[in-house]
Amino acid sequence: MAISKAEWIWVNGQLVPWEEAKVHVLVHGLHYGSSVFEGIRAYDTPRGPAIFCLSNHVDRLFYSCRVFRLAVPFSKAQITDAILETVRANGHKACYIRPLIFRGFGGLAIDGRENPTEVIVATWEWGAYLGEEALMQGVEVGISSWRRMSPGTLPAMAKIGGQYVNSQLATMEAHDRGFSEGIMLDVNGYLSEGSGENLFLVHQGIIYTPPLAASILSGVTRNSVLTLADELGYPVREEFLTREMLYLADEVFMTGTAAEVTPVRAVDGVPVGNGGRGPVTKALQEAFFGIVRGEVKDRHGWLTFVDD
């Protein structure tokens, strides 16, 4: 999906014009995937743009840096301000926000900790990740031949750039097979997640989702959806799930900042339930979109209003 250019990008403490936000070809992050990032959304509400779960994203960004031993020359409060400042400066009503922290230009020792850390915050206007129609009709996915990393290989809960090579392999394969997304299994063959989304299924009135130990990213949207599901009175189980549960499920859906709450209508060409969006998925979408669009009271303090 093409990026629509905004005016400013925050780079190491100041806003610079979009075209000027460049790096040297020898930055460590480019060679070794030594970066960490976040994907955050701001929604258009009657009170102006509101960022969804900002503090959770900033916390995860710093968690990723901690795991990756990436020293950040800014505090959480400074990064939070940088995000608000960039959204304001670009005058977005709604946007996608991409903070990125990477090992910059210096040596090219694999260790990389000698290199300076660079921090940027970019924003751009981005519609529904898998298409508007996908939110209503659902998408077709396939089980990827690529597995998620094993727990001893890479820290799955950290959002580290290099780990997205795994996601790229899965998505490219899915697209070549005519699917919107690839669902990966973990090293033991249990369901894990999509290339950029967490996975849920509904079976006989119970909502299931793979646990953190299934090599998933601890999704911010996943956590919100678990809260909403609980409030709506659905029993929720986080447990290891076999692939066949996807063929047995009444409903399947995926969550993510970019993907929001997207129904899955077929897995490997097998229709899920009635082959469309199911009632539980619809109820969760309504609860989610009601809050982010400022139509329903934000009981959990999930929104940060940019203009306040």
**C-alpha distances out from residue 92 to 7, 39, 86, 294, Å:** 10, 16, 9, 16
Q: For residues 258 and 197, what is the distance between their CA atoms, to the nearest angstrom?
A: 8
* Beta pairing partners, 281: none
CB distance 144 to 174 below 8 Å: yes
Q: Which of 45, 80, 198, 209 binds ligand PPE (CB under 6 A)?
A: 198
27-56: which residues touch ligand PPE (CB under 6 A)? 39
> Considering the rule CB under 6 A, would residue 220 count as an interface residue with ligand PPE?
yes
Rank residues 115 and 291 by Cβ distance to ligand PPE and give the closer one. 291
β-bridge partners, 78: none
- Of residues 60 and 115, the one with the C-beta less far from ligand PPE: 60
CB 19 within 8 A of CB 6: no
Q: Output DSSP code: residue 196.
A: S
Q: Which residues are known catalytic residues?
A: 159
Does position 161 interact with ligand PPE (CB under 6 A)? The reply is no
Q: How many residues bind ligand PPE (CB under 6 A)?
A: 15
Cβ proximity to ligand PPE: between 39 and 182 the closer is 39
Select from 103, 222, 265, 277 the one that contacts ligand PPE (CB under 6 A).
222
Cβ 109 to ligand PPE shortest distance, Å: 28
258 makes contact with ligand PPE (CB under 6 A): yes
Q: Does residue 112 belong to the site contacting ligand PPE (CB under 6 A)?
A: no
Q: Point out which span in 13-21, 75-83, 115-123, 193-201 binds ligand PPE (CB under 6 A).
A: 193-201
Among 253, 251, 244, 259, CA closest to 275: 251
Return the residue of 99, 112, 182, 196 that touches ligand PPE, per CB under 6 A. 196
Lookup: tokens for 300 = 């959990």
In terms of CB distance, is 117 or 167 closer to ligand PPE?
Answer: 167
| Number of neighbouring beta carbons within 10 Å of residue 14 | 10
- Return the closest-CA partner of residue 258 out of 134, 168, 137, 145: 134
Per DSSP, the three-state class of 194 is strand
Measured CA to CA, the distance from residue 74 to residue 239 in angstroms comes to: 37
Q: Does 210 bind ligand PPE (CB under 6 A)?
A: no
List of residues contacting ligand PPE (CB under 6 A): 39, 167, 193, 196-198, 217, 219-222, 255-258
